Chains A and B, each alone.
Chain A
Amino acid sequence: DTEVTQTPKHLVMGMTNKKSLKCEQHMGHRAMYWYKQKAKKPPELMFVYSYEKLSINESVPSRFSPECPNSSLLNLHLHALQPEDSALYLCASSQGGGTHQPQHFGDGTRLSIL
């Protein structure tokens, strides 16, 4: 079982809907990440939170809005998404920053935009 929990596992929404993806970890990790993964492509980094502060935004459109309410939780708020936003959204966490820390991933949320 993964130690990073993502909900929901699947989400279908219309372009006018507002929904949120949730991610939770209880490993005491201080860095949390959102990735987007399209079929047969590598995961692409969207956001990084370090010590509950947004440290990296990879020029993600504003229709994606991240939130880190506390050190264990990471949300991704979705509004007015486009069909091309359909993808697998992965959450990950790591013990800290730096290059030697492996990332621990959740199972992902499969998002479909109608």
Chain B
Amino acid sequence: ILNVEQSPQSLHVQEGDSTNFTCSFPSSNFYALHWYRWETAKSPEALFVMTLNGDEKKKGRISATLNTKEGYSYLYIKGSQPEDSATYLCAQPRSNDYKLSFGAGTTVTVRA
């Protein structure tokens, strides 16, 4: 993996169902992995900054795990609600400075 990649590009989930999607990133020179949620017509909102292999973070019904050795992170949404509809971006600092490389995002649509 040379760049930050996210899959799937989009997904539809029924209200009340749980879902998850993937962020893959270069595992060499790992510093951190950021997750952002971007709702339509709003600004991207930081969800998590993950730094340690095996890290698991939770915010309400959303949680994320991190595997730095194999270069992936999963984001889980439990019991999806319409307000979870958004594009979820992951981003990785590629050096020890301010630069973030973003994935193209996974767009989640929750159907009532």
Q: Known contacts A41-B104, A42-B89, A42-B104; is A103 also within 8 Å of B99 by CB?
A: no
- Max chain A CB contacts within 10 Å: which of B36, B43, B93, B97? B43
Bound: A105/B91 CA distance, A: 14
Q: Is A102 an interface residue (CB 8 A)?
A: yes
Set A42, A102, A108: member contacting B34, Cβ < 8 A: A102
Q: Which of B44-52, B68-76, B78-86 contacts A (4 or more CB under 8 A)?
A: B44-52
Interface residues on A, range: 20 to 34
Interface string of A18-48 (1 = CB under 8 A from B): 0000000000000101000000111101001
Question: How many residues of chain B have a CB within 8 Å of chain A?
Answer: 26
In contact, B44 and A90 (Cβ under 8 angstroms): yes
Residues of B within 8 A of A33 (CB): 98
The chain B residue sitting closest to A49, CB to CB, is B98
B51 neighbours in A (Cβ, 8 Å): 99-100
Most buried by A among B31, B91, B100, B105: B100
Min CB distance, B3 to chain A, in Å? 10
> Which of B4, B45, B97 has most chain A Cβ within 10 Å?
B97
Residues of B within 8 A of A (CB): 4, 31-32, 34, 36, 41-46, 49, 51, 89, 91, 93, 96-105
